[in-house]
Chains A and B, each alone.
Chain A
Amino acid sequence: MGTRDMMPSFELYQPDTLEAALDLLGRFGEDGWALAGGNDSFDWFKDRVKRPRYVVDLTGIEALKGIRETADGGVEIGALTTLTEIERSDVIRSRFGVLAEAASKVASPQIRNTGTIGGNLCQDARCWYYRYGVHCYRAGGNTCYADTPEGQNREHCLWGADRCVAVSPSDTAPAMVVLDARMVVAGPNGEREVPAEQFFIGPSIDITRMTVLEPGELLTAIRIPPSWAGARFYFEKVADRNVWDFPLVNIAAAMRVNGNVIEDARFAAGAVQCTPRRLTVVEEVVRGQPRSEDLARLAGQSAVRGATPLNYNHFKIPLLQNLVMRAVRDA
């Protein structure tokens, strides 16, 4: 059958409150599916890989939309806020520019118009074997098709391989780690707040999930504290195409610079392991040092220590090294 058939049928629910959505998802259990912008979900449905019986459309929940300034000087972003809104938000652009920049590099304009920040952060792995619907480790099987002598693993990981070698595909996730954002998670047992760095999980913790979200839980908001507001930021994404494509590697950085001395810094890279990779070694290398070409080069070298490339992704090592170098030099 061609690609222009319908996706398999499901029952659609359109709650307008978070409580109603959580109630529905709790009742449907494994047969339920939370839908936001749909840019990730519909591919799964059309390919018949995921076949939920009940789809809960969250886009009618107004309370989960929009960007609010908080009393402490930070911002709270509703999970259903579109990437376009974030890209264009004055407060995000002026105070947390690395996030606006990251959001502007996601996919295409039309996808950013419907794609939500929650969806971008919670999206599933993009490994093409997994997406193709094969019974790999991540899909509950006992094989990784990407990590074989013939496996095509150009896009896959440098660190954190544990049966699965897929990477975090998000552009906004490294920016959230750099900004020390807090993820607000709501579920049947109430609300909890998870630091961005701990929100994403690798295959050694749970090979079937990319985040700490348990079934029946939803990411409802992202709280960005004021700690890095107005810092010097850097974001760069390298992909095969400038539009639509997922990153081969991306880098997000925030630095406090006094005179020429880097007083403090946070670095995170995407698409090099299953979670955004906080580059603490780089932070230690640059902290308290005057900015220079030499420091930038050293920071780049330190970023790739311990990288374990697969057959076809050695190029990611110099790529990450150069991106870190540029971030230190140009932020």
Chain B
Amino acid sequence: MAENPRDRDVLGYPEPRYERSGLSDLASRKATRRQFIKGIIASGAAVSSAAYLFGCSSGERAVAPAGGVERMLTLRVNGQERHVDVLPNETLAMTLRYKLGLTGTKLGCDRGECGACTVLIDDVPTYACSTLTHQVRNRSIETIEGLEGPNGELHPVQQAMIDELGPQCGFCTPGQIMSAVGLLRANPRPTREEARLALSGNLCRCGAYDHYLNAVMRAAGQSAVSQA
């Protein structure tokens, strides 16, 4: 299928390339648990888990009939052009996590009911689980990985989340942060109520809502003290 088979995994998908050049070096020298898991997904060493992720390994119409959209896309993700082979039925969350290695975008419910997969499309908070990747061609896609500065400094919302002890388990945090960043770009000085509404599409099972709101208010340069 590919010119150099080592560039592709067992399913024929391109190897994810990590955003920052240091990461792949880091992975080879110091294999953290996260890097190890990412590596397994990327290399396809665990065939069964890859088939699980992409579901339709047998029985289904694995190959769609010709005539629809071109599968090879160029996506604008975090300011970079990313070339990727995208199935017609693939959600943006799948592409980001399993093709581009951007696992900061979480999949919670996969039904548009939790907000863990929130990313920005042209600065607008959007559920990546409920968007086809083909629907966001030519749009600007921004994930949690794209927020940090050129030297790794945290985005003001990320820093405020730390300062206000925003996350507990942290699973919903990337989505909460993307919703907050989207809010502050449209409305840099929101009221606490406006922030509450802006984050209302993001569930937190730990119930850390007030901490998240404190962080948004701090990032907006306002008093973080709860008025509740």
Contacts and interface: CB of A to CB of B under 8 A. Distances in A.
A54 B132 CA distance: 14
B150 interface: no
Contact of A243 (B131, B134, B201): B201
A12 B88 contact: yes
Interface in A1-58: 1-14, 35, 38-39, 42-43, 45-46, 53-55, 57
Contacts of B56: 5-6, 8-9
A142 interface: no
B207 interface: no
Contacts of B107: 4
Interface stretch (B15-23, B110-118, B214-222): B110-118
A13 B201 CA distance: 30
Interface string B44-88: 000000001111100011111101110000000000000000011
A107 B109 CA distance: 15
B69 A14 contact: yes
B130 A9 contact: no
SS class, residues of chain B in contact with chain A: loop
A244 interface: yes
Interface stretch (A110-118, A194-202, A262-270, A298-306): A110-118
Interface residues on B, range: 35 or more
Most buried by A among B90, B127, B198: B127
Contact of B69 (A12, A42, A107, A108): A12
Given A3-B111, A55-B88, A110 B127 contact: yes
B200 A242 contact: yes
A4 B41 CA distance: 14
Contacts of B109: 3
Interface in A42-92: 42-43, 45-46, 53-55, 57, 59, 84
B64 A14 contact: no
Contacts of B130: 38-39, 42, 111, 114
B27 to A, nearest CB: 24
Contacts of A188: none
A133 interface: no
B132 A38 contact: yes
A318 interface: no
Contacts of B132: 12, 35, 38, 57
Contacts of B198: 109
Interface of B: 52-56, 60-65, 67-69, 87-91, 94, 107, 109-113, 115, 118, 124-127, 129-132, 134-135, 179, 197-198, 200-201
Given A46-B110, A110-B127, A113-B124, 20 more contacts: A4-B53, A5-B55, A6-B90, A8-B55, A8-B89, A9-B60, A10-B88, A10-B89, A12-B89, A12-B134, A13-B69, A38-B130, A39-B112, A39-B130, A53-B61, A84-B124, A109-B125, A109-B197, A110-B201, A114-B126
The 7 closest A-B pairs by CB, nearest first: A108-B201, A5-B55, A12-B88, A6-B55, A11-B68, A110-B201, A109-B201
17 contacts: A2-B52, A3-B110, A4-B110, A6-B55, A8-B60, A12-B69, A12-B88, A35-B132, A38-B131, A46-B110, A59-B135, A109-B197, A109-B201, A110-B118, A111-B112, A114-B126, A114-B131
